[in-house]
Chain A
């Protein structure tokens, strides 16, 4: 199985432009997550979704929005990108949120905002 896929692999974006990072999983997991990873810092949770139709804010949600129209897809949108959003973005999923279920990660999207 593919597990979790993310697109694009990398992107250079002009400041002020909008962009949607795509994430799709085929494991029928209820919970999905978006993290950013910056050098010297741990993974930081941006937004999460317990199940289709619900979303929640993580540790660093400002400047980002998400939607969860179905079980498989969890896109992350930057409405007006700023240079501080330059990072590697990982999508993850687990059987359920609010549990001890293992999280499985997609390959990541490397985003540079100029």
Chain B
């Protein structure tokens, strides 16, 4: 079967750094997405990785290791508005998008 694993919930402090991990087992790989979803709202695109390494975009960075089936999203200088769920999704060899259940991130002052 195909599977995406993420922690269910994480807590971090305002101003700190947090790393949200995602591991995947899919039939092939054509890229990995991270989305942000605030409570009661739609998912919004954060990043896309298809090659190994780190992609930096402001306070957010995303890392991919295809050989390990592993990605992480790194959030720096956390703000209260970063409280949200973060969804990891993988495109498999059939170009189907397989979604993880998401990680709820709670930011405390």
> Assuming the A-B contacts A41-B101, A100-B31, are A107 and B4 also in contact, with contact meaning beta carbons closer than 8 angstroms in the complex?
no
Q: Which residues of B contact A77 (CB under 8 A)?
A: none
| C-alpha spacing A45/B94, complex, angstroms | 14
> Assuming the A-B contacts A42-B4, A42-B101, A100-B30, are A90 and B50 also in contact, with contact meaning beta carbons closer than 8 angstroms in the complex?
no
User: Interface size of B by Cβ–Cβ distance < 8 Å?
Assistant: 24
Decide yes or no whether B11 CB sits under 8 A from chain A: no
> When each residue 66-105 of chain B gets 1 if its CB lies under 8 Å from chain A and 0 otherwise, what string results?
0000000000000000000001010100111111111000
| C-alpha spacing A108/B43, complex, angstroms | 10
Q: Which residues of A contact B27 (CB under 8 A)?
A: none
Decide yes or no whether A103 CB sits under 8 A from chain B: yes
| C-alpha spacing A86/B99, complex, angstroms | 20
Q: Which residues of A contact B102 (CB under 8 A)?
A: 42
Give 30 pairs: A residue, B residue, CB < 8 Å, sorted on A.
A40-B8, A42-B89, A42-B99, A42-B100, A42-B101, A42-B102, A43-B43, A43-B87, A43-B89, A43-B99, A44-B99, A90-B42, A90-B43, A97-B95, A98-B94, A98-B95, A100-B30, A100-B31, A100-B50, A102-B33, A102-B45, A102-B48, A103-B97, A104-B45, A105-B42, A105-B43, A106-B42, A107-B41, A108-B41, A108-B42
